[in-house]
Structure 1
Amino acid sequence: MKKATWNGATLAESDATVVVENNQYFPPESINKQYFVDSNTHSTCPWKGVASYYSIEVDGKVNPDAAWYYPETKDAAKNITGYIAFWKGVKVE
């Protein structure tokens, strides 16, 4: 079971994560949505597509753009469409 935590809160927990480029991607249904705030940030991966971001907010503290996902992917990354990955100090274990 993989678990993502930040600032003492469990952001996501699942035994169905997918590893891509050393990142654990969590299924969308495994996240605790109350901590996720939509961001206007986007980035592009040549083989996955355009990523969207969430900022994480826990107990009044904000970690900007600390989670990302691909709402639509290119064919090579179909298995992570909608799945969420973390960085910027979010601990995944």
Structure 2
Amino acid sequence: MKAIVAGTVIAEAEQQDLISIEGNRYFPPAAIRQGSLRPSTTPYTCPWKGAAQYYDVATDDGQAHDAAWCYPHPHRSALDRVGKDFSGYVAFDPRQADIVG
């Protein structure tokens, strides 16, 4: 599977390595193109997952604002609910990224 933002492949991993949560596919940290994520100051806390870190995504043609996010330290109850540790896994805004595979 690939996450493509503005024509640039930002992440690539086998489908079985992704975690699906609420319709979003989360890529493992090692699958993210080096240097493509820049921390954003946008705050967000999910009631059940915890505090999110948003990222601007650097592409070959510029950057996409808040096009990706992760949960660096999700709530323990979220890990239990999902059934896997998704700490640091990265999801992409479906309005700005195409997930293909």
Q: What TM-score, normalized by structure 2, do the two folds share? A: 0.84
Deviation at 1:76, TM superposition (A): 2.8
Percent identity for Structure 1 against Structure 2? 38
Q: Spell out, residue by residue over 1:5-58, the C-alpha distance to the aligned partner (whole angstroms, 9 max, x if none).
A: 012211001120000000000000100022211111120111100101110121
Give SS of 2:44's match.
strand
1:77 matched residue in structure 2 = 78
- More strand by percentage: 1
1:9 matched residue in structure 2 = 8
Q: How does 1:1-93 map to 2 (within 5 A)?
A: 2-15=1-14, 16-78=17-79, 79-87=85-93, 88-93=95-100
Structure 2, unpaired ranges of 5+: 80-84
Deviation at 1:60, TM superposition (A): 4.2
Deviation at 1:89, TM superposition (A): 1.4
Q: Spell out, residue by residue over 1:51-70, the C-alpha distance to the aligned partner (whole angstroms, 9 max, x if none).
A: 01110121342210100000
Deviation at 1:92, TM superposition (A): 0.7
Structure 1, unpaired ranges of 5+: none
Structure having greater relative contact order (Cα 8 Å, sep ≥ 6) = 2
User: What letter matches 1:8 in structure 2?
Assistant: G
User: What letter matches 1:75 in structure 2?
Assistant: R
Runs of 4+ with deviation above 4 angstroms? none
Number of corresponding residues: 92
Q: What TM-score, normalized by structure 1, do the two folds share? A: 0.91
User: What letter matches 1:89 in structure 2?
Assistant: Q
